Structure 1
Amino acid sequence: MGLEKLQIGALVVARLYNVFYVLIPDCDEVFNYYEPLNVLIRGFGKQTWEYSPEYAIRSWAYLAPYALLTYPLAFLTDLITGIPPFVVFYAIRLIIASTNIYAEHHMYHTLKTHCSQAIANWFIIFTVTATGMSHASIALLPSSLAMTCTTLATSNFIRYATSTHSTRNALLVTSWFTIGGLLGWPFALALAVPSMLYIIWDSYGVGLQLARYINWSIAIVAFYLVVIIEVDYWFYGRTVIVPLNIVLYNVVNASEASGPNIFGVEDVSYYIHNLLLNFNVVAVLGYLGCIMIPGIAFIKTSKRLSGALTFGVIAPIAIWTGVFFSQPHKEERFLYPIYTLIITSASITVSLILSAIRSIVRVITRRPSFARLIYYITVGITAIVIATISLSRTISISSNYNTPLEVYAHIPSTAEGNVCVGREWYRYPSSLFLPVHARLQFVESGFRGLLPGDFSEDAGSLIKNIKIIPEGMNSENLYDPKKVISLEGCDYMIDINEPVDVESGEVQFIDDEGVVRPGWKLLYSAKFLDNAKSQGIGKYLYLPKWARGFARGEVVFHDYNLYQRIGLDPDDTKEPELEVHEEQIPPETGIIDQEKSKYVDAASLELKKKGGPITE
């Protein structure tokens, strides 16, 4: 019990660190989830075309629970000036992290009880330290919810297949996969196929039990589907089946002009690169387990455990990998649903390999005590090396790329008017970082995709505002100039101190001598890693100061700056107004895409990535 408490304590500490220090790895998380959630709890936010009743490929049912839980806190932050609005952002992350802690502990306990303590120990080591879990476990994304639900469904399936064979465990498998697929990401339902087939096959011949399972499963799916349809009907004003719309958009109706592929394509190396950066050796062990585990588990363990691991862990990894590796459009978050399955497979694999080493040493030396010593030394070295690399990667991305969260948090609590952003629009951490009387606006940056617009604030009620169909939207990423305002309308500005592209309309706010543009003052500045100019291992892993001299390459930073208007800008045609601007850009909607649509790829951190409204 003491060891388990220590392990769960480490898990809690890791997730708390993730909540407060890990970056937002994808602008889709901000504009498609945090922004509409801010609308629900604070009444304003940016809108993408997916939330228009005309398209309806994002479900309000997914956001509703978070809105109910955080509305009281949001109300207080807007009422009391001293409470910054971003506390709601971190509260949301805490809620998401808590659900994942529960799921990970559930899987740990299942592996401990139904497999072995060693496998459970490796699972907790890998899940606590993995860089991929550091952002997947706190992300406000349907694929993150799908990961959580897949973890719980798989855990219950292993319990069912190895010992209980109870209808209760079987129905919990159905319930969790249903929640992850319908409320989260519909494509995640593919992960349920192997375990469902196993349960049906296992129940075959026991007519009453099979019929009971099927009938209750149908009822569970119908219940969640009806709830989701009803919630979305309330917001969209018409009957829509959002999970179906997502599949239709991404698969059935996809074309050269519309669909996921217009947001960029990658080859298989993209996912390999991501997995290695997110999991290093654990990714290799996880996929090696897809080959090793079915055969070895069948020989060394019971047929039931072999079946549980093959159908519950290995088959879903194989299915998901086969489907998504073959898709032209790739996103890091698309692999979230199998993250804990990869960790589970890796935990079993490393346990099998180390046990084999121990057996070989014992046979060769005929000294059990020596074999045991070698085993413990190997276990310790393996755990330390993997954990060190993983934690170093996590600390690196949180310290080098988390700057936008820090800078936006320094917007004055009394700020009013327009907070503007140009070329850094895709790093915006959400309107939860804006005071209640401030609004985000975009200025010219040369980006020619469709930027997000604004949810209406003028229809008289929240529901009426949400039901309005914005003008100028499209599903083809066509630029809409109405999404951009002139610098004249800005009261605050976020930018980096890098050379600008004057031809594209970008404006230089600070020169090489540190002189700020006339009419503005620098309020706050923080260092942000320059991914393009940095080279060497320090770009990927955190190195303590004493070790940096031994590493090749150079880590370069630029400044991430917050400016405030204090007077007339050289490009202004009239005196600036420092109060709230009554005239907002039309409540139009947009999508996020191409060149700068990624926030930051938490694995590769290549800012060239595209992003956008894909599948989720």
Structure 2
Amino acid sequence: MALCFQKGTQLLKHCSLHVSVRPSGSHYLLFGKGFQTWEYSPEYALRSYTYLLVHMVPVWVYNHLLQPNRILLFYFCRCLLGLLCAFCEVYFYKSVCQEFGVQVGRLMLAFMVFSAGLFVASTAFIPSTFSMYMCLLSIGAWYQRRYELAIFTTALSTYLSWPFAALLGVPIALDMLVRRKQFSKFFQWGAISTAVILLPMVLIDSSYYNRFVVAPFNILYYNVFTSHGPNLYGTEPWTFYFINGFLNFNFVFVAALLTPVFLEERFLFPIYPMICLAGAITVDALQKLWFRFLVRRATKAAHYLSHTAPIMVSAILVCSLLGVSRISALYNGYHAPLDLFMELSNVTGDNKLPADQNINICVGKEWYRFPTSFFLPDNRWQLQFVKSEFHGQLPQPYSKGLNATSVIPPHMNDMNKEEPSRYIDVAECHFLVDLDLNTETSWEPNYSRHSADWTVIKSVPFLDTARSHNFFRAFFIPFVSSDYCMYAPYNLLQSKHLKLGKHDPR
């Protein structure tokens, strides 16, 4: 239980819009202000507001009862996600013990607890994480022969979060239809699940978009039946996925590859627990082979566990050490944006800002590390973008008014084409977030070194990947990594030309 809360509060890995946009959309539902991406435009309607509401109802209750700092709302949501993940993992663990035995279950649990991939994925506010929860429940229910629950949770994952997760239900469908011939139960619960989940979703989403919307169909159509959908934001070579799998699961990922089943990268979040299970089965099989061919001939021992404990202990020890090392490296290297944006609350209190003054906090090349609108102290703070070397489409604030979710925003496209309307002049920025890598281009000046224009009010070390050793930036080794990893100052800058509040600190 303590670990699930640690996951929720200690790490928000460096990512792009898939981390920040869902919380920002939720921020709009709570406070009437937030960022909208083209997927939430009524013209495209690829995303479901029902998914956001499911997460925001407990946050709304917490906010109205205690009215805490907005950052606490964000972490409250992440802690709830961690708690939900913990319950799903316990259910899955019990099911694995029932299906494969306690030994496999214990190995899998150890691999899951110390997996860097699951540490990140378990509290991420993205649809594939919710699909991972549902995968834990659906596969667990399948192992317990509770087919009704398996179908319902698969449908919940498919309709509410990520339609591509339906592929994870194929083994369940084949088992019911081909092996057990349970046609009636399969189609009956498929229809019940659709009626209970999809119909309310359509009603809720259609009311927000002010037109008939089936969000799962829209995202499926966009990614499968359009020429630009699946490849719009780039693809990676196979080596990227192998390295990523090893970083997240170390040798467990390699062991999992020795099992028959493997899926592509886009399904990795939902199948992260399956990787741990496959790795546990492989280690258990290795123990049995070791006992059969090297131990049993020399002894009459009755059970393989009596003589193969060192294999199990070694596997868990290596997995845990590498996992903790990877998690520590992520935290030490990439935690700076969270610390920096938390400083805005102190700035608000120190400057005693007028209630009617808007404050522009700007990001340029660091746009994709902005955590979420929950880190902006109140509605006076406006996140703004200044031009950088990035040439894709950035999000824009929701329109003003109660019906903003149904208004088609201008200057949006589904081709990731740059929209110049997103940018403001850097001279209009009260604050600016900048990573000082001691380099600059025409569109990315080194603002931190422009002391005539900016004052550094907070600086936090951030990993400079280009100047750091590949291994030691990936895995933290106490007393050693510091000699091979270089850090750059991640700075919060305050303009020297724009007055701020009644008591300007300059």
TM-score, normalised to structure 2's length? 0.92
Per-residue deviation, 1:273: 1.5
Contact kept in structure 1, 2:287 and 2:304, CA below 8 Å: no
Q: 1:353 to 1:134 in 2, by over 3 A?
A: same
Per-residue deviation, 1:577: 5.3
User: Residue 419 of structure 1 is aligned with which of 351, 361, 367?
Assistant: 361
State the AA in 1 paired with 2:230. P
State the AA in 2 paired with 1:578. L
- Written as runs of structure 1 = structure 2, the 5 A alignment for 1:117-156 is 117-156=102-141
Contact kept in structure 2, 1:508 and 1:517, CA below 8 Å: no
**Cα distance in 2 for residues equivalent to 1:500 and 1:244:** 45
Q: 1:118 to 1:370 in 2, by over 3 A?
A: closer
TM-score, normalised to structure 1's length? 0.76
Partner of 1:542: 476
**Cα distance in 1 for residues equivalent to 2:169 and 2:15:** 27
**Cα distance in 2 for residues equivalent to 1:86 and 1:336:** 26
User: Residue 382 of structure 1 is aligned with which of 294, 315, 320?
Assistant: 315
Are positions 1:114 and 2:36 aligned together?
A: no
Moved more, 47-56 or 516-525: 516-525
Partner of 1:66: 55
**Cα distance in 2 for residues equivalent to 1:122 and 1:478:** 47
SS at match of 1:532: helix
Contact kept in structure 2, 1:396 and 1:541, CA below 8 Å: yes
Contact kept in structure 2, 1:249 and 1:259, CA below 8 Å: yes
> For each residue in 1:238-285, what CA deviation from the matched residue of structure 2 results, as whole angstroms up to 9, or x when unmatched?
0111111111111112x2xx3231321222222111111111111111
RMSD between aligned residues: 2.2
Per-residue deviation, 1:154: 0.3
Are positions 1:222 and 2:195 aligned together?
A: yes
Are positions 1:260 and 2:230 aligned together?
A: yes
Q: Which runs of 5+ in 1 are unaligned?
A: 1-11, 161-168, 291-316, 325-331, 569-575, 581-616
Moved more, 399-408 or 49-58: 399-408
Q: How many pairs does the alignment contain?
A: 492
State the AA in 2 paired with 1:527. P
- Written as runs of structure 1 = structure 2, the 5 A alignment for 1:141-290 is 141-160=126-145, 169-204=146-181, 210-253=183-226, 255=227, 258-290=228-260
User: Residue 434 of structure 2 is aligned with which of 495, 510, 520?
Assistant: 495
Per-residue deviation, 1:422: 0.7
Are positions 1:524 and 2:455 aligned together?
A: no
State the AA in 2 paired with 1:46. F
- Written as runs of structure 1 = structure 2, the 5 A alignment for 1:5-154 is 12-74=1-63, 83-154=68-139
Q: Which runs of 5+ in 2 are unaligned?
A: none
User: Residue 478 of structure 1 is aligned with which of 409, 413, 417?
Assistant: 417
- Written as runs of structure 1 = structure 2, the 5 A alignment for 1:449-464 is 449-457=392-400, 459=401, 461=402, 464=403
Per-residue deviation, 1:360: 2.6
**Cα distance in 1 for residues equivalent to 2:186 and 2:247:** 41
Q: 1:65 to 1:548 in 2, by over 3 A?
A: closer
Per-residue deviation, 1:15: 2.5
Q: Percent identity among equivalent residues?
A: 28
Are positions 1:354 and 2:287 aligned together?
A: yes
**Cα distance in 1 for residues equivalent to 2:500 and 2:397:** 21
SS at match of 2:44: coil
Contact kept in structure 2, 1:146 and 1:188, CA below 8 Å: yes
- Written as runs of structure 1 = structure 2, the 5 A alignment for 1:596-607 is none
> For each residue in 1:25-69, what CA deviation from the matched residue of structure 2 results, as whole angstroms up to 9, or x when unmatched?
422323431111111112111111111100101111111111211
Contact kept in structure 2, 1:23 and 1:397, CA below 8 Å: no
Q: 1:243 to 1:227 in 2, by over 3 A?
A: same
Q: 1:53 to 1:536 in 2, by over 3 A?
A: closer
**Cα distance in 2 for residues equivalent to 1:287 and 1:30:** 28
**Cα distance in 2 for residues equivalent to 1:215 and 1:495:** 56
SS at match of 1:261: coil
Are positions 1:578 and 2:491 aligned together?
A: no
Contact kept in structure 2, 1:36 and 1:45, CA below 8 Å: yes
Partner of 1:429: 371
Per-residue deviation, 1:137: 0.6
SS at match of 1:118: helix
Per-residue deviation, 1:113: 2.7
Partner of 2:386: 443
**Cα distance in 2 for residues equivalent to 1:187 and 1:548:** 39
**Cα distance in 2 for residues equivalent to 1:246 and 1:452:** 18
Moved more, 186-195 or 413-422: 413-422
> For each residue in 1:296-344, what CA deviation from the matched residue of structure 2 results, as whole angstroms up to 9, or x when unmatched?
xxxxxxxxxxxxxxxxxxxxx44xx2xx3xxxxxxx6641111111111
Per-residue deviation, 1:99: 1.4
**Cα distance in 1 for residues equivalent to 2:239 and 2:470:** 20
Contact kept in structure 2, 1:233 and 1:239, CA below 8 Å: yes
Partner of 1:509: 447
**Cα distance in 2 for residues equivalent to 1:502 and 1:519:** 18
User: Residue 559 of structure 1 is aligned with which of 458, 467, 489?
Assistant: 489
Moved more, 413-422 or 439-448: 413-422
SS at match of 2:457: strand
State the AA in 1 paired with 2:144. R
SS at match of 2:308: helix
Per-residue deviation, 1:149: 0.4
Contact kept in structure 1, 2:21 and 2:372, CA below 8 Å: no
**Cα distance in 2 for residues equivalent to 1:25 and 1:497:** 17
**Cα distance in 2 for residues equivalent to 1:536 and 1:273:** 12
> For each residue in 1:435-488, what CA deviation from the matched residue of structure 2 results, as whole angstroms up to 9, or x when unmatched?
11211100121222111111112x2x2xx1221111111111221111000112
**Cα distance in 1 for residues equivalent to 2:258 and 2:28:** 45
